[in-house]
């Protein structure tokens, strides 16, 4: 692919793409008209974010309307079609609906937003569905699992292919604490758990046709959302029967103490936790914590699926993780 940006007064321009490793970047070359450009090697089919650094200042590609937004910044995006990206491609299959909801949070005393995916045929039917609560990372919001993670298209394709039974997916905002308030920010995980269990679940179960049983509820998340899945889910197995942790593991020394009861009762935990799925890329900066989680669970006799993969800490792996995790739910 060739990337271009008009910056006639710039002294240096580089390209940073989601397909690159570590701090790698590509230098662009300026022509006589002030147009900078660079051509990459061929890239596998996927959806990639990228940005330019113009004299040290990050900027999006202003001529490209496809964006990857987030909680703190935005990037441009490019969709490279092909068989390798078929799991999240927009295909000619029946499609579900993504709803945007506002609800009153008892944890924060404010109105908060969430996204809800309902499967194809939901509006015309009367039946109730199992539910996955799907959490994002620290750089994103409740919007990114559908706008960039393509969770809705992944589910549509799996359902159309007969690999997934229809379900509802609820995507919450994982930042209940004001990020500009250090005292509140330290309580983010606590506030998130209270918000999810006391406000989000009652709200969606009242408004949507969801089976209100722990056996039909799952909780999963990536990065920060994976940490929230561990912190909240392991203490709420009366609410959830399946957990998914993408690219995360314990980062401190308190995990075993905080979850002592669950880890000490392997038989009881294994009976209640039908699926505990953990995946991480070997180039991920959180590889060691994820591996440590796997080893701790192994040591304690907690049944789980450990899936080490290639890849780093980005959406290229998280879309694939979701496409592999979803069919394992509610079989």
String of DSSP letters for 179-245: TT-HHHHTTHHHHHHHHIIIIIHHHHHHHS-B--SGGGEEEEEETHHHHHIIIIITT-TTT-SEEEE
Same fold, 2-80 and 87-328: no
Query: What's residue 112's pLDDT?
Result: 97
DSSP run (H or E) holding 146: helix 144-147
Tell me which residue has tokens 């060739």. Answer: 2
Are the C-beta atoms of 37 and 29 separated by less than 8 Å? Answer: yes
Answer with the residue of higher pLDDT: 220 or 187: 220
- Flag whether pLDDT at 17 surpasses 80: yes
| Distance (Å) of CA 256 to CA 220, 239, 272, 273, 318 | 20, 21, 19, 17, 26
User: According to the model, what pLDDT value does residue 44 have?
Assistant: 95
For range 200-215, the mean pLDDT: 97
CATH fold of 2-80 reads Immunoglobulin-like (2.60.40)
* Mean per-residue pLDDT of the chain: 96
Does pLDDT of 30 surpass 90? Answer: yes
Parse the chain into domains and list their residue ranges: 2-80, 87-328
For the cut 80, the answer to whether the pLDDT of residue 180 exceeds it is no
Q: pLDDT digits over 109-160, tens only?
A: 999 999 999 999 999 999 999 999 999 999 999 999 999 999 999 999 999 9
User: At 182, is the pLDDT very low, low, confident or very high (cuts 50, 70, 90)?
Assistant: confident
CATH superfamily to which 87-328 belongs: Alpha/Beta hydrolase fold, catalytic domain (3.40.50.1820)
Q: What's the pLDDT at 253?
A: 83
């Amino acid at each position: 692919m060739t990337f271009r940006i008009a910056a006639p007064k710039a002294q240096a321009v580089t390209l940073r793409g989601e397909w690159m490793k570590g701090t790698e970047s590509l230098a662009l070359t300026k022509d006589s008209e002030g147009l900078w450009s660079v051509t990459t090697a061929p890239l596998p089919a996927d959806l990639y974010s990228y940005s330019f650094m113009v004299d040290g200042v990050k900027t999006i590609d202003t001529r490209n309307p496809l964006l990857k937004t987030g909680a703190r910044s935005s990037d441009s995006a490019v969709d490279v079609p092909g068989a390798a990206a078929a799991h999240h491609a927009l295909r000619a299959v029946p499609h579900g609906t993504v709803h945007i909801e506002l609800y009153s949070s008892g944890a924060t005393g404010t109105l908060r937003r969430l996204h809800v995916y309902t499967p194809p045929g939901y509006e015309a039917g009367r039946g109730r569905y199992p539910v996955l609560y799907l959490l994002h990372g620290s750089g994103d919001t409740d919007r990114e699992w559908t706008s960039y993670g393509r969770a809705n298209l992944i589910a549509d394709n799996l359902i159309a292919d007969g690999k997934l039974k229809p379900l509802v997916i609820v995507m919450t905002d994982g930042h209940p604490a004001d990020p500009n308030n250090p005292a509140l920010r330290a309580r983010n995980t606590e506030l998130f758990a209270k918000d999810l269990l006391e406000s989000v679940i009652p709200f969606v179960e009242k408004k949507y046709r969801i089976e209100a049983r722990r056996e039909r509820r799952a909780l999963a998340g990536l990065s920060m959302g994976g940490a929230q899945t561990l912190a909240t889910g392991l203490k709420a197995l009366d609410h959830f029967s399946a957990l998914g942790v993408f690219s995360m593991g314990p980062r401190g020394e308190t995990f075993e103490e905080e979850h002592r009861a669950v880890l000490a009762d392997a038989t009881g935990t294994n009976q209640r936790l039908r699926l505990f799925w953990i995946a991480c890329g070997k180039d991920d900066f959180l590889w060691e914590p994820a591996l440590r989680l796997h080893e701790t669970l192994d040591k304690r006799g907690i049944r789980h699926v450990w899936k080490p993969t290639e890849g780093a800490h980005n959406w290229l792996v998280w879309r694939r993780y979701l496409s592999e995790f979803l069919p394992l739910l509610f079989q």
